[in-house]
A and B are shown apart, each in its own frame.
Chain A
């Protein structure tokens, strides 16, 4: 048995460094509102946004030593532990199963824990100035920052071999990773977004198996098997759809979805398709009817931006396209 080490984790083993540029947000403390309803109060907009929380937004940069193959989540957790315990972001399992850590990385929705530093870091034309503690205070988002983002997006990701070394530390400087909360949803604090709207929309479509409960019987009328039988080829028709972890990445990528009531969103449609394609489920008609609405399939513009980022490999756009075809063919 080794002696327990109590010192700070040794940062000298890190061969590279990266700058995380985090879009932070701190809500203004809400005043207690009277419960009495106001007949003139604005009803919630179908496009969402009327409840956009008010507060302070700013951009903060953290330059930290890393291994190029660390995940972005690992790096944020080290920032929380060693630099800034106030930085807020959701996380749980850390390996892409729980779906809690969807954010926008370099503007694209994805999970923190499956994003690897080497894939996400971009060199910028001019390295940001940081002080000895790896900090650079930046003000609220400005045109300048927006330009920097645009420039960052243009420059390609660099491999570790091409990266310059930081003069002070001798580490490879991998560049910048931009982090912001998941688009399409109201931010609650820093990288934490309110995705309740997505869950409400999924719930409204009865997201549970509906079966008549009849079991197969043998010729003499006895119950033959206890589980509902399902052939492997029937399972294959919907199995991948059951992999959805309800992270909200497809919703954040959708240009139509905005967290409002105008579109139920790709996640709700995928969950509906999951039951439509499951031959055990006997509510197919009802399910197709429920999405044949203005805020259902009619709102989908088939942009297919939802397909590429799905962390579970679901071709969301194609699945929705097939669902639309099935609704229309009724």
Chain B
């Protein structure tokens, strides 16, 4: 019999680590520990410590600290709601803006090496969509640490977790989530230990899902190879819903065909987008904000330039498609560029062989962030929406990019993602601490475990699936035979083809025909192939192919939900641009899509408490 935990945290990025820290720092946990009751908490991550994608966030974390210019949370609140094209739940965005300063100051206390103003305060820079006086002019709101703020935050949070003795299970892959549908209660997770190659049933009273985004649904993405939408898919497969999955942010400045992100800070510091004729075109699309308009606006402007024949080819592939535009950073003083954008400069030099102080750099929109995800309350509790109300799943929580508390609505502002992950991650930790304090797992064996629970069946099923995957392995001793048989399918091929399909059907622009075609290819071709996949080696220990197979199955599950939700929304809003429904339609769609794995879509009204929807002009 496996152990019982008070809480399992799945994911060790900004959200998961913030939750672990706030759990241990909460009054409830400290009181219990004073009484000698040690909480049993485990952070499970499919990566080693410190490899999480939070570390790649570059530009900043938004908060109205007012260190550079006067600022207030009300302006941040307004910008967030407007930036999200009014699909933002305003109660949640209000918390985001109000608690942002506290969140950033806590991170500084935890050791983040923020860049500083001359008088020693946290330095802040301009970021797209962040304004003063309710949209009047740009404001410096993004607290930054050169262009490595994510790396700083990830490492500082991990360091503090080490100080609190947080226990980690590294390179364990959570394959299933056990939710008892009758009781509406979480039972724990099934996890695959990639080192030993064994399946574990991990029981817990509380589970937090903090697995990050799903950028790998697309071929051109800024996301690391591990962002395969596992958390969202776990929830869908457990019979729950995902919210607003049709909204995927395309960051305008991916480095040409690599998809690697060039931070928005490159434009905040003075970079300009130019088309094939050298024209700085953003002035034509967003006269007031120009190159720092919201990301969806800039991505669509790039696409419009490309579609009008004013795009350029990636210089590394001169005969390839003319689907890029130029990022001109030559106006930035070289010394300043190196001081404030070291990572951007290094990326351009290393992966494009160009010198941004002299050369224009080819860029292209790259899949960056999923605004939608697992529906949660402002206390991070997962719920389902039916009969016109929220039904909370007892003990199940989500935070960070995989979740949707709906502070980002239909489009996220730069600097708000780290904030969301740290702030609502912390709130998740506090919620869990309150629940654990009421009913801690004790060592005396008094915690009753139902031996015929759903979780045991899931564990057995996963064990069987693992056995099947390796039972059909070709002889690993003879890899030549393998190579000769080039038609042998594998998860890596399948994932690449899914990415290309999603790029061509859903990226930046879409319509009903493109969605339908993608759905057909997935149902008729990709899903059957995914079900046939098997490992090419007979062992389960350090067999990366096993995880890759389960990841691509998760991606397909999520892709189907995303396409279903995209098809159901007959309007254009934020990041979703439907060519067949080009206008926003508040009368019918001022609502969150709630999609389940069976393709049912129901609509949950947006929480509007302070600001009536207006048009979204930049």
Contact = CB atoms under 8 A, between A and B. Distances in A.
A81 interface: yes
B484 interface: yes
B361 to A, nearest CB: 15
Nearest to A192: B542
Contacts of B542: 27, 88, 188-189, 192
Interface string B529-548: 00000001101011111001
A5 to B, nearest CB: 6
Contacts of B544: 88
B155 A97 contact: no
Indicate the member of A26, A85, A88, A226 with the most B CB atoms within 10 Å.
A85
Contacts of A91: 225
Given A4-B505, A188-B195, A208-B111, A86 B536 contact: yes
B480 to A, nearest CB: 5
Contact of A245 (B55, B347, B492): B55
A98 to B, nearest CB: 4
Contacts of B121: 225, 227, 229
Contacts of A6: 497, 521, 525
Interface string B507-518: 001110010011
B500 A92 contact: no
B83 to A, nearest CB: 26
A135 B479 contact: yes
Interface in B327-366: 343, 346-347, 350-351, 353
Contacts, number: 189
Interface residues of A, number: 72
Contacts of B48: 90, 100, 195
A67 interface: yes
B351 A209 contact: no
A133 B195 contact: no
Interface stretch (B35-43, B158-166, B443-451): B158-166
B50 A99 contact: yes
A92 B226 contact: yes
Contacts of B588: none
Contact of A92 (B47, B105, B347): B47
Interface string A123-154: 00000000101110100000000000000000
A208 B163 contact: yes
A208 B162 contact: yes
A90 B171 CA distance: 11
Contact of A235 (B116, B162, B496, B509): B116
A209 B156 contact: yes
A267 to B, nearest CB: 12
A135 B483 contact: yes
Interface string B475-495: 010011011101000111100
B476 A97 contact: no
A108 interface: no
A134 B120 contact: no
B475 to A, nearest CB: 11
Contact of B518 (A4, A83, A192): A4
A189 B197 CA distance: 13
Given A9-B496, A84-B479, A208-B111, A3 B260 contact: no
Nearest to B165: A203
Contacts of A225: 121
A309 interface: no
B119 interface: yes
Contacts of A178: none
B224 A228 contact: no
Contacts of B317: 13
Nearest to B148: A243
A114 interface: yes
A88 B536 CA distance: 12
Contacts of A82: 486, 493
B49 A199 contact: yes
A137 B496 CA distance: 28
Indicate the member of A95, A189, A234 with the most B CB atoms within 10 Å.
A95
Given A88-B544, A242-B113, A2 B504 contact: yes
Contact of B492 (A85, A116, A232): A85
A218 interface: no
A259 interface: no
Contacts of A280: 111
B559 to A, nearest CB: 13
A235 B115 CA distance: 8
Given A84-B479, A97-B151, A245-B151, A4 B501 contact: yes
A93 B48 CA distance: 13
Contact of A97 (B56, B116, B492): B56
Given A238-B113, A242-B145, 5 more contacts: A1-B505, A98-B50, A203-B162, A226-B101, A232-B117
- Nearest 5 CB-CB pairings of A with B: A209-B111, A229-B120, A81-B492, A189-B542, A208-B159
10 contacts: A69-B353, A84-B482, A86-B536, A98-B52, A133-B484, A192-B542, A228-B109, A232-B118, A242-B145, A243-B148
